[in-house]
Amino acid sequence: MKIRHGFVSNSSSTNFIVVVPKDFKLTIKDLEKDEDILDALYEDEIIDCSDDTEEYIVTQEAVDDLNSHLNVLKKEDGEIYQGDVPAFQAIVEILEKRNFVVMRMDNNFGGGEGLILPFVDQRLKKRK
């Protein structure tokens, strides 16, 4: 049985503002190199663990799914709600490990779902 030792957050009450570079794309090798992200993906039931070796099994389908969510965050109107994305914790872990999180806002209102939003610089929009 795997036990997570890395970053832990109560994302149900935390929102994130992020900047994901347009050319950023995860690969299987990226995920296999980071035990904390693998732990988060396992906890989110996105990847499995081998019963024999207790090693994580990362599939291209799992990587493609993560990349599709990250692509949403590359758009100005993109957003990811915790309740809509099973891999929410893993995505937060990926974004934080790569320093893509611009701001983290802890919400003390309780009962709210975590949210990830892309940063949009309104000054740049006005120049166009």
Per the document, the length of the chain is: 128
Q: Bigger pLDDT: 123 or 100?
A: 100
Q: Name the percent of the chain in helix, strand, coil, to the closest 5.
A: 40, 15, 45
Is residue 24 one of the residues assigned to a domain?
yes
Q: What is the pLDDT of residue 9?
A: 47
Q: What is the pLDDT of residues 43-65, one digit of tens each?
A: 888 899 888 888 999 999 999 99
Q: Bigger pLDDT: 63 or 106?
A: 63
Q: Is residue 67 predicted with pLDDT exceeding 80?
A: yes
Cα–chain-centroid distance for residue 98?
10
Q: What is the pLDDT of residues 68-93, one digit of tens each?
A: 999 999 998 999 988 888 999 899 99
* Separation between Cα atoms, residue 66 and residue 79, nearest integer Å: 14
Q: What is the pLDDT of residue 128?
A: 55
pTM equals 0.79
Is residue 5 one of the residues assigned to a domain?
no
Q: How many domains does the chain have?
A: 1
**In whole angstroms, how far apart are CA 51 and each of 3, 41, 54, 64?**
14, 17, 6, 24
Q: Bigger pLDDT: 51 or 5?
A: 51
Q: What is the pLDDT of residue 110?
A: 54
Is residue 1 one of the residues assigned to a domain?
no
Domain that holds residue 32: 11-127
Is residue 68 one of the residues assigned to a domain?
yes
Is residue 45 one of the residues assigned to a domain?
yes
Is residue 3 one of the residues assigned to a domain?
no
Which whole number is the average pLDDT over 10-22? Answer: 79
Which whole number is the average pLDDT over 108-123? Answer: 75
Is residue 93 one of the residues assigned to a domain?
yes
